[in-house]
Amino acid sequence: MQNLYKEDLVDLINDIQHPVWIFDLESLRFLTVNRSAVMLLGYTQEEFLAMTIKDIRSEYEVSYYEANQQWRIYTIGVNHFQKLRKKNGSEIFAEVRYKDITYKESSAKITTMYDLTDKINYELRLRESEERFRISQEISPDGFTIMRSVRDKDGSIINFEWEYVNPAAVKILRIPAEELIGAKLLDKLPGNSLELFELYKEEVNTGKPHDLEIKYNADNIDGWFRNMTVKLRDGVAVSFHDITQRKLQQQEIQKKNRDLNNVLERISDAFVAMDREWRVTYLNYTAMKIFSTDESILGKNFWDAFPIYKGTNFYLDSVRAMQQQEAKVIDFEGILTPRWYKISVYPSQEGVSIYAVDITLSKAYEEHLMSSLKQKETLLKEVHHRIKNNLQIIISILNLQSHYIQDPQALEIFRQSQNRIRSMALIHEKLYKSDNLVLINLENYISDIVKYLSATYGVRKDLISIQLDIEQIHLDSNTAISIGLIVNELISNSIKHAFSSQKKGKIVIQAWRKGNNMNLSVSDDGKGLPFDLNNNHTKTLGLQLVNTLISQLNGTLEYENQSGAEIKICFPYLYNKIYAA
Q: Which pLDDT value is given to residue 540? A: 66
Choose the weakest-confidence range: 60-74, 225-239, 321-335, 456-470.
60-74
Rounded Cα distance between 494 and 353, Å, is 75
**Tally of CA atoms within 13 A in the half-sphere of 3 that contains its CB:** 3
Mean pLDDT of all residues in 379-405: 61
Which pLDDT value is given to residue 44? Answer: 92
Task: From 71, 88, 120, give the residue that closes a domain.
Answer: 120
Residue-wise pLDDT for 510-546, tens only, equals 999 888 889 999 888 888 776 545 555 555 666 777 8
Residue 558 lies in a domain: yes
Tell whether 258 is covered by a domain.
yes
> 409 in a domain, yes or no?
no
Residues 232 and 309 in one domain: no
What's the pLDDT score for residue 577?
Answer: 43
Is 202 a domain residue?
Answer: yes
Per the structure, the complete domain to which residue 450 belongs is given by 435-572
68 in a domain, yes or no?
Answer: yes
β 30-33/20-24 pair status: antiparallel
**Quick count: other Cβ atoms within 10 Å of Cβ 5?**
11
Round to whole Å and give the CA distance between 66 and 222. Answer: 67
How does pLDDT run across 296-320, given as a tens digit for each residue?
888 888 888 888 888 888 888 888 8
Between these two residues, 63 and 119, which has the higher pLDDT value?
119
Which among 192, 217, 242 is the end of a domain?
Answer: 242
The least confident of 402-411, 500-509, 552-561 is 402-411
CATH number for the domain harbouring residue 208:
3.30.450.20
Mark whether 207 and 286 lie in a shared domain. Answer: no
Burial label for 522, CB within 10 Å (0-12, 13-18, 19+), is buried
Closest CA to 109 of 15, 31, 17: 31
476-495 mean pLDDT: 79
- The answer on 557 and 454 residing in a single domain is yes
Percent of the chain past pLDDT 70, that is, above it, reads 73
Residues 237, 255, single domain; the answer is: no
Whether residues 255 and 293 share a domain: the answer is: yes
pLDDT in tens, 140-159: 778 888 888 998 888 888 88
Domain-terminating residue out of 183, 212, 242: 242
Q: Assess if residue 407 is contained within a domain.
A: no
Q: Does 170 map to a domain?
A: yes
DSSP characters for 197-220?
Answer: HHHHHHHHHH---EEEEEEEESSS
Same domain? For 237 and 289 the reply is: no
Q: What is the pLDDT of residue 43?
A: 92
- 465 and 353 in a single domain? The answer is no
Which strands make up the sheet holding 328-333, listed edge to edge?
A: 280-283, 270-275, 351-358, 340-347, 328-333
**Residues 96/113, Cβ–Cβ less than 8 Å:** yes
Question: What total number of domains does the chain contain?
Answer: 4
By the 10 Å C-beta count (0-12 exposed, 13-18 middle, 19+ buried), 188 is classed as: middle
Q: Is residue 429 part of a domain?
A: no
- Using 50, 70 and 90 to split pLDDT, how confident is the model at 253? confident
